[in-house]
């Protein structure tokens, strides 16, 4: 079976989410910070009248934050809790990937990433780590 | 299920609700042929349709009721309480069968033979004419079907304003006419006619509530967009833009009001069930009650109507059961024999005010105080200081009403505290006033709608936050010059002296863990908030303005923080957080005072009964960690050990004019003393119960934890081990422990005296 993945990169690694889970791609929005929230919550954005939580994928994956001034992109995911926006470094193409190229993630993957990645696709030139949208957008206790 | 059966269910539920009202009314006006006519037609319709759909049990009950009614209509029988009760019972039976039909598609196995027999018995003598002859019956039913079927369409619409619990009835009647239509005037002589009542069928349609909700959301968005445009307009010099945006403003406001109106329903819809409730209850308690309703046409949001249904019924039941005296007591007090229960609803200042008043004996403050003390809600000391008003509010405390007279009627497991919680959940408030010997009045105040609320904008560390107006008591600025308000320190706790009252002070920056803002030389801005009846001052950087805001739900990511109630979008398009006064008070430590602490903990319990979370105070005793449910601890005290005296074979300390019996948790023998020297200062947890006042002596108090735990007990009934705060901790069942300690004590005393 052919699957469509919306891809993006964080700290040089290529990630993908099921393209049907993506609502839209946005430039950085004006954010309202939320005191006492967990560190990966960047803030709240106004998406055409809807209040959307913005989550920093770098923080979630345990990576250091980008230096100031380097532009980021928001990917708005459709989730059971309504839209959730994740901040990534750069957006890539939508890729068609065949199921046969699917592999399980290596057990040596470090922890926060291992929890969120469900599979690895062997693209010709690099690897694509498939992110579990449900788990990524899951509310965590503050 | 067939659409046509669905319609029959909806329509029948509505008819049954009306039957309830009309039957009770009929009792008061037994001569009204209009009422009998209307009731008869109603039952007749149900019977006819039931026959058509082949629901035999339903049909037989309806038929028996109809036969009885026809005797009443033809004046061959006088109305009696027994007849009314039997007819109401038929309404209940039919209603229960309708539920079965909507679940299973058939009318179940219960033929309600007793009820049918009871109805027949009431028809005494005349049975020959009215006994259902099988053949005659079928042909009669056949002819009826056509007429009643034709009626279905119209009747359904005209009756649609009556609320029912049926899922199919999840609609609001959108009537063009502002007032609710009167009940259809029955046609004077039309014994067997099933003429459809003429109603506002031409001017109203049924609308799905989901669609209305969506419209309401869209209007909310529009209001936000309007606010943004208006903000932009004030900075713009373009006069065309200015006038257009003003027009947009006007239209939006009007549209908002219009859409909100479509969701409005008259409160009479909820009240319609009450005459029946009052009648049944009055009969049960052997009291005479007249129910007076005023302002049935007062409208409020459908969701709010739903939300107050149960609290209202509970209050009314309480009033009849506890509020009004028995007939004999009323006569003895020189009052008219019939008690009056009055419901009144009015719109006032953007709120709906509902008053439930009775002309009963009024609250017995002395008894309430005694009860509160005996059930351990407050101390005897405190009870003596309470004003009548504060005493009245005790009945809203969790644990009070259940402890109060549990009767057949009111001991249904729902206390006034639940009523209060439910009313507060929808942003309302509840107040009780009472005049000895003259009656009690309960006042419920609720907002007209939930989605759009007025709120105060404040800022802290550069961000704006909102405080719902409903939590706001007043706003003030405290500087060195003000005379009637002053910030002081009581020990290490900042307090506000405001008009001779002391209010605890909470700094928003510290609650939200924002950097300290330093001292503002111009003074401090304080918003005085009310959280669950407790007032406190919230120090903020700046107090800005009030605005109507559209409340957006809080994302699940942020719910666990506990101090935000929701979000909204401000005029400039930015998102702002709405503060939750109770959450802020909790984090700020406002609830830690003795009585409030108990209340706060119990409030958590009732909110969250399923998850069984407990607040547990953890301390150490002989190098072991033990946990004690915080709700069992009234106070923490440091008491010098040289004040210990012996009495009745046990260690006691004179404490607030009482004897505090000490229970050493570290003792090896229950009721005994631990080995070794006692420290100079004892750490004592004061526990009050029916068994008296006890001081639990521990070595060190560690902290309070929220624990998810069953209250099961271990083998000795005293402790179970669990992990609290990452360390093994024994959770102690205090009641049992004290029981054991007390029994040990009595053994010793009997031993020494014999």
For residues B300 and B267, is the Cβ–Cβ distance under 8 A? yes
Do residue B490 and residue B576 come from a single domain? yes
Q: State mean pLDDT over B535-547.
A: 90
Do residue B616 and residue B579 come from a single domain? no
The domain that holds A31 is classified in CATH as: 2.40.50.180
ipTM for the predicted complex comes to: 0.88
| Residue B383 domain flag | yes
Residue A140 binned pLDDT confidence (cut-offs 50, 70, 90): low
Q: What is the DSSP string of B360-377?
A: S----HHHHHHHHHHTTS
CB contact under 8 A, A34 and B569: no
Residues from chain A contacting residue B463 (CB–CB below 8 Å): 32-33
A71 touches chain B (CB under 8 A): no
Look at the block and give the residue holding tokens 């052919």: A2
In total, how many domains does chain B have? 5
Interatomic CA distance for residues B32 and B37, integer angstroms = 9
Domain that holds residue B678: 612-753
Residue B110 binned pLDDT confidence (cut-offs 50, 70, 90): confident
Interatomic CA distance for residues B560 and B297, integer angstroms = 41
Q: Tens digit of pLDDT for each residue in B581-640?
A: 888 988 888 876 433 333 333 333 333 333 345 667 778 777 778 888 777 777 777 888
Kindly report which listed range (B42-46, B404-408, B486-490, B522-526) carries the lowest average pLDDT score: B404-408
Residue A124 binned pLDDT confidence (cut-offs 50, 70, 90): confident
Closest CA to B424 of B534, B346, B311: B311
Interatomic CA distance for residues A47 and B573, integer angstroms = 9
pLDDT of residue B611: 38
Do residue B487 and residue B537 come from a single domain? yes
| Residue A107 domain flag | yes
Rounded to the nearest 5°, which phi and psi values hold at B598?
A: -60, -45
Do residue B472 and residue B553 come from a single domain? yes
| Residue A116 domain flag | yes
Q: Tens digit of pLDDT for each residue in B332-383?
A: 888 888 899 999 998 876 678 899 999 988 888 888 888 778 777 777 887 7
Domain final residue pick, B170, B192, B224? B170
| Residue B410 domain flag | yes
Q: Is B501 helix (H, G, I), strand (E, B) or coil?
A: strand
B513 touches chain A (CB under 8 A): yes
| Residue B196 domain flag | no
Residues from chain B contacting residue A86 (CB–CB below 8 Å): none
| Residue A102 domain flag | yes
DSSP, res B484: S
Do residue B290 and residue B438 come from a single domain? yes
| Residue A40 domain flag | yes
Closest CA to B285 of B344, B342, B360: B360
CB contact under 8 A, A141 and B560: yes
In this complex, the residue of A32, A38, A41 whose CB is nearest that of residue B575 is A32
Do residue B166 and residue B237 come from a single domain? no
Do residue B550 and residue B622 come from a single domain? no
Do residue B422 and residue B336 come from a single domain? yes
| Residue A142 domain flag | no
Kindly list the strands in the beta sheet with A41-47, ordered across the sheet, starting from the edge strand earlier in the chain: A22-26, A73-77, A84-88, A50-56, A41-47
Domain final residue pick, B557, B591, B625? B591
Kindly report which listed range (A63-72, B6-15, B124-133, B499-508) carries the lowest average pLDDT score: B124-133
- What is the percentage of chain B residues whose pLDDT exceeds 90? 7
Domain that holds residue A88: 2-136
The domain that holds B160 is classified in CATH as: 1.20.120.160
Q: State mean pLDDT over A24-40.
A: 89
Interatomic CA distance for residues B669 and B689, integer angstroms = 22
| Residue B189 domain flag | no
Neighbours of A106 (CB within 10 A): 10
In total, how many domains does chain A have? 1
In this complex, the residue of A32, A82, A140 whose CB is nearest that of residue B576 is A32
Q: Is B345 helix (H, G, I), strand (E, B) or coil?
A: strand
Do residue B512 and residue B420 come from a single domain? no
Domain final residue pick, B170, B195, B229? B170
Do residue B478 and residue B435 come from a single domain? no
Residues from chain A contacting residue B561 (CB–CB below 8 Å): 34-37, 142
Do residue B249 and residue B315 come from a single domain? no
| Residue B598 domain flag | no
Substitution target in B224, B575, B579, B586 with the highest count of A β-carbons within 10 Å is: B575
The domain that holds B640 is classified in CATH as: 2.40.50.180
Do residue B11 and residue B145 come from a single domain? yes
Going through chain A in order, the beta strands assigned E by DSSP cover 2-10, 13-18, 22-26, 41-47, 50-56, 73-77, 84-88, 90-98, 102-103, 117-122, 127-131
State how far the alpha carbon of B551 is from the alpha carbons of A79, B110, B186, in Å. Answer: 21, 48, 46
């Amino acid at each position: 079976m052919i699957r469509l993945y919306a891809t993006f990169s964080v700290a040089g690694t290529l990630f993908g989410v099921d393209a049907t889970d993506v609502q839209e791609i946005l430039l950085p929005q004006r954010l309202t910070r939320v005191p006492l929230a967990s560190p990966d919550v960047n803030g709240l954005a106004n998406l055409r009248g809807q209040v959307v939580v913005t989550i920093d994928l770098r923080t979630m994956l345990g990576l250091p934050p980008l230096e100031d001034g380097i532009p980021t992109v928001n990917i708005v995911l459709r989730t059971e809790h309504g839209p959730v926006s994740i901040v990534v470094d750069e957006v890539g193409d939508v890729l068609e990937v065949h199921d046969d190229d699917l592999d399980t993630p290596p057990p040596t993957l470090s922890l926060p990433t291992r929890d969120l990645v469900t599979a690895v696709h062997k693209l010709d030139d690099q690897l694509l780590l498939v992110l579990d949208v449900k788990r990524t957008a899951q509310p965590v206790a503050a | 299920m067939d659409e046509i059966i669905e319609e029959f269910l909806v329509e029948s539920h509505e008819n049954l609700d009306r039957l309830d009202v009309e039957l009770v009314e009929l009792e008061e006006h037994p001569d009204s042929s209009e009422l009998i006519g209307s009731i008869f037609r109603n039952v007749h319709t149900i019977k006819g349709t039931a026959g058509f759909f082949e629901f035999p049990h339903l049909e037989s009950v309806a038929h028996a009721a109809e036969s009885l009614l026809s005797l009443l209509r033809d004046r061959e029988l006088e109305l009696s309480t027994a007849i009314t009760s039997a007819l109401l019972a038929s309404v209940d039976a039919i209603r229960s069968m309708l539920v079965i039909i909507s679940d299973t598609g058939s009318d179940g196995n219960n033929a309600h033979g007793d009820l049918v027999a009871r109805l027949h018995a009431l028809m005494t003598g005349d049975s020959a004419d009215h006994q259902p002859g099988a053949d005659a019956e079928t042909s009669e039913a056949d002819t009826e079907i056509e007429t009643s079927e034709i009626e279905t369409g119209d009747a359904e619409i005209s009756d649609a304003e009556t609320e029912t619990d049926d899922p199919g009835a999840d609609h609001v009647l959108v009537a063009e006419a502002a007032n609710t239509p009167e009940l259809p005037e029955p046609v004077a002589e039309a014994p067997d006619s099933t003429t459809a009542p003429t109603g506002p069928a031409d001017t109203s349609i049924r609308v799905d509530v989901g669609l209305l909700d969506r419209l309401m959301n869209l209007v909310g968005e529009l209001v936000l967009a309007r606010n943004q445009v208006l903000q932009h307009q004030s900075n713009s010099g373009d006069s065309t833009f200015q006038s257009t945006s003003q027009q947009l403003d006007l239209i939006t406001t009007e549209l908002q009001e219009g859409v909100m109106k479509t969701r409005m329903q008259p409160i009479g819809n909820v009240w319609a069930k009450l005459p029946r409730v009052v009648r049944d209850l009055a009969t049960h308690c052997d009291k005479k009650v007249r129910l007076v309703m005023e302002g049935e046409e007062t409208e409020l949001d459908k969701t709010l109507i739903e939300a107050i249904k149960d609290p209202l019924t509970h209050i009314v039941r309480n009033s009849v059961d506890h509020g009004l005296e028995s007939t004999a007591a009323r006569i003895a007090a020189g009052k008219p024999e019939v008690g009056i229960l009055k419901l009144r609803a009015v719109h006032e200042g953007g709120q709906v005010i509902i008053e439930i008043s009775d002309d009963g004996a009024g609250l017995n403050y002395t008894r309430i105080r005694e009860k509160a003390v005996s059930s351990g809600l407050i101390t005897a000391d405190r009870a003596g200081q309470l004003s009548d008003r504060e005493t009245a509010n005790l009945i809203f405390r969790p644990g009070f009403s259940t402890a109060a007279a549990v009767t057949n009627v009111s001991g249904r497991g729902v206390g006034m505290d639940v009523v209060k919680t439910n009313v507060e959940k929808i942003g309302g408030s509840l107040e009780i006033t009472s005049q000895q010997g003259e009656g009690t009045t309960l006042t419920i105040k609720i907002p007209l709608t939930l989605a759009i609320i007025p709120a105060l904008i404040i800022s802290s560390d550069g961000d704006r936050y909102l405080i719902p107006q409903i939590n706001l008591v007043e706003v003030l600025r405290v500087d060195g010059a003000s005379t009637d308000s002053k910030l002081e320190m009581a020990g290490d706790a900042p307090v506000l002296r405001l008009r001779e009252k002391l209010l605890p002070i909470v700094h928003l920056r510290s609650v939200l863990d924002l950097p300290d803002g330093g001292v503002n030389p111009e003074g401090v801005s304080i918003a005085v908030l009310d959280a669950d009846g407790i007032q406190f001052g919230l120090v903020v950087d700046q107090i800005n303005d009030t605005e109507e805001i559209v409340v957006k739900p809080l994302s699940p990511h942020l719910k666990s923080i506990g101090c935000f109630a929701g979000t909204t979008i401000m005029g400039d398009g930015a998102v702002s957080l709405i503060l939750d006064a109770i959450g802020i008070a909790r984090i700020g430590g406002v609830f830690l005072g003795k009585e409030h602490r108990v209340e706060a903990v119990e409030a958590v319990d009732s909110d969250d009964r399923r998850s069984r979370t407990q607040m547990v105070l953890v301390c150490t005793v002989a190098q072991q960690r033990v946990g004690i449910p915080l709700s069992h601890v009234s106070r923490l005290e440091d008491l010098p050990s040289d004040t210990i005296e012996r009495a009745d074979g046990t260690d006691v300390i004179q404490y607030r004019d009482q004897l505090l019996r000490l229970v050493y948790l570290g003792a090896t023998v229950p009721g005994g003393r631990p080995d070794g020297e006692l420290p100079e200062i004892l750490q004592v947890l004061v526990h009050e119960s029916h068994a008296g006042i006890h001081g639990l002596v521990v070595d060190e108090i560690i902290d309070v934890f929220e624990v998810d735990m069953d209250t099961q007990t271990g083998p000795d009934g005293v402790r179970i081990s669990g992990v609290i705060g990452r360390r093994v901790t024994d959770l102690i069942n205090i009641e049992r422990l004290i029981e054991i300690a007390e029994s040990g004590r009595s053994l010793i005393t009997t031993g020494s005296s014999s």
